[in-house]
C-alpha cells in the first residue's frame, strides 16, 4: 500500500520551481547584458567578469528547467524509483559550471595583474551598474531561496545560492571599481580575482555534495533518527535495527528491519509492516520504504501471541 502524500511531488512544487527559475532568467538576461556592454564601455574587467557570471546563471537556469521537467516523470521499467536524481545531476552540473567560470575569471585576472600598465581607469557608470546588480541579485536570491525552502528542493537551493554568489561578486566588484576611481587601478583586476575565487569555491562545494548524493549518501542523522522514531511509534513494532537510507534527489529510500512479537501470524506481521510504511511515507520525505520483519529478541514477550 502506498501512503505517500509528500508535498515534494505535487504540481504546486513544479509550478513554483518553474516560476522562480523564469524570474531568474529574466533578471540574468537584463543584468548580463548591462554588465558586459557597459563594462566594455567603462573599461572595467571586474564588471565584465561579473557579467560573465550572470551569463553562467542563465546556463544554470536552463539546467534547472530541464531537470525540473524530467524529474517529474513517473517511475518506469528502467527507473523503478522515478527520476528524482535528475535534480541531483542538475546540482552537479551547476556546480561544475560555477567551477569552470570561477577558474576562467582567475586566469583572466592573473593575466591582467602580470601587466598592470594595461589597466585603465574605469568610468563612473561602472559603479552604478555594479550597485544595481548587487541589489537585483540579492533580492533575487532571497526570493529564490524562500521558494526553494518551501518546496524543499536542493537543486533550487543550489541555484538560489548561485544568485547569492552573484550578489557577493557584485559587492566585491563595486569595491574594486571605487578603488580604481580613487586612483588605484590595480584594485579592479584584484576584485575580479576575488570574484573568481568565491565562485570557484562555491562550485566545488556544490559539485562535491551532488557527487556524494549520486553515490548513495545517507540522509542526515537527524532525519534518520526521526524516521526511526516514527517506526518505533507504530503499534506492534518492538524494535528497529539495520536502518539504512540513501538519497534519491530530494527524496529518501529507506531499508529497515522491524521487530515484532515472535508468535504472531504472518498476516498480523504484514499489517504492522504496512502501517509502519504508511506512517513513514506520510511524515517524511521518503520515496520508498522496504521493511524486513524479525522476531523480537525480548524474552518477556516470547510467550505472547496475537491472533
Contact criterion met (CB below 8 Å) for 41 and 33? no
At residue 229, the pLDDT reads 92
Q: How many domains does the chain have?
A: 2
In what helix (H) or strand (E) does residue 222 lie, and over which residues does it extend?
A: helix 221-232
Domain boundary among 173, 190, 214: 214
- My answer on whether 23 and 130 are in the same domain is yes
What pLDDT digit, counting tens, does each position of 32-83 carry? 888 889 888 888 877 887 787 777 777 777 776 776 665 566 666 665 565 5
User: Does any domain span residue 181?
Assistant: yes
Q: Give the per-residue pLDDT at 4.
A: 40
Residue 305 has pLDDT above 50, yes or no: no
Segment 95-145, tens digit of pLDDT: 888 788 788 878 877 877 777 766 777 888 888 988 898 898 889 888 888
The torsion angles phi and psi of 241, rounded to 5 degrees, stand at -145, 170
Domain boundary among 175, 192, 214: 214
Burial 70-101 (b: 16+ CB within 10 A, else e): ebbeeeeeeeeebbbbbbbbbbbbbbbbbbeb
In DSSP notation, 103-153 reads HHHHHHHHHHHH-GGGPPPPPTHHHHHHHHHHHHHHHHHHHHHHHHHHHT-
Is the domain of 210 the same as that of 76? yes
Model-wide pTM > 0.95: no
Closest CA to 102 of 209, 214, 205, 213: 205
Structural domain includes residue 1 = no
Question: In this predicted model, what pLDDT tens digit does every residue of 163-220 receive, in sequence order?
Answer: 777 787 788 888 888 888 888 888 877 877 887 887 788 788 878 887 877 776 778 8
Domain containing 293 equals 221-301
Q: Are residues 11 and 139 in the same domain?
A: yes
- Say yes or no: 193 and 109 in one domain: yes
CB atoms within 10 A of CB 279: 19
| Shared-domain flag, residues 226 and 202 | no
Q: Are residues 51 and 126 in the same domain?
A: yes
Amino acid at each position: 500500500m502506498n501512503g505517500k502524500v509528500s508535498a515534494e511531488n505535487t504540481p504546486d512544487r513544479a509550478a513554483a520551481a518553474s516560476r522562480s527559475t523564469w524570474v531568474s532568467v529574466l533578471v540574468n538576461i537584463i543584468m548580463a547584458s548591462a554588465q558586459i556592454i557597459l563594462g566594455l564601455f567603462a573599461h572595467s574587467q571586474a564588471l565584465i567578469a561579473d557579467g560573465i557570471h550572470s551569463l553562467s546563471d542563465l546556463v544554470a537556469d536552463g539546467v534547472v528547467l530541464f531537470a525540473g521537467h524530467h524529474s517529474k516523470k513517473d517511475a518506469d521499467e528502467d527507473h523503478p524509483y522515478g527520476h528524482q536524481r535528475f535534480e541531483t545531476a542538475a546540482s552537479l552540473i551547476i556546480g561544475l559550471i560555477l567551477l569552470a567560470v570561477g577558474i576562467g575569471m582567475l586566469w583572466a585576472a592573473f593575466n591582467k595583474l602580470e601587466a598592470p600598465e594595461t589597466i585603465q581607469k574605469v568610468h563612473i557608470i561602472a559603479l552604478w551598474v555594479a550597485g544595481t546588480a548587487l541589489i537585483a541579485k540579492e533580492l533575487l536570491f532571497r526570493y529564490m531561496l524562500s521558494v526553494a525552502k518551501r518546496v524543499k528542493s536542493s537543486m533550487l537551493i543550489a541555484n538560489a545560492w548561485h544568485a547569492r554568489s552573484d550578489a557577493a561578486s557584485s559587492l566585491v566588484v563595486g569595491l574594486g571599481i571605487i578603488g580604481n576611481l580613487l586612483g588605484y587601478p590595480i584594485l579592479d583586476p584584484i576584485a575580479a580575482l576575488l570574484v573568481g575565487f568565491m565562485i570557484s569555491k562555491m562550485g566545488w562545494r556544490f559539485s562535491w555534495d551532488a557527487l556524494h548524493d549520486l553515490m548513495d549518501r545517507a540522509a542526515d542523522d537527524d532525519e534518520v533518527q526521526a524516521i526511526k522514531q516514527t517506526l518505533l511509534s507504530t503499534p506492534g513494532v518492538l524494535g528497529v535495527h539495520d536502518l539504512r537510507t540513501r538519497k534519491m534527489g530530494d527524496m529518501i529510500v529507506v531499508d529497515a528491519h522491524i521487530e515484532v512479537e515472535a508468535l504472531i501470524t504472518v498476516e498480523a506481521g504484514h499489517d504492522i509492516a504496512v502501517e509502519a510504511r504508511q506512517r513513514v511515507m506520510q511524515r517524511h520525505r521518503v520515496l520508498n520504504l522496504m521493511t524486513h520483519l524479525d522476531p523480537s529478541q525480548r524474552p518477556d514477550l516470547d510467550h505472547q501471541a496475537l491472533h
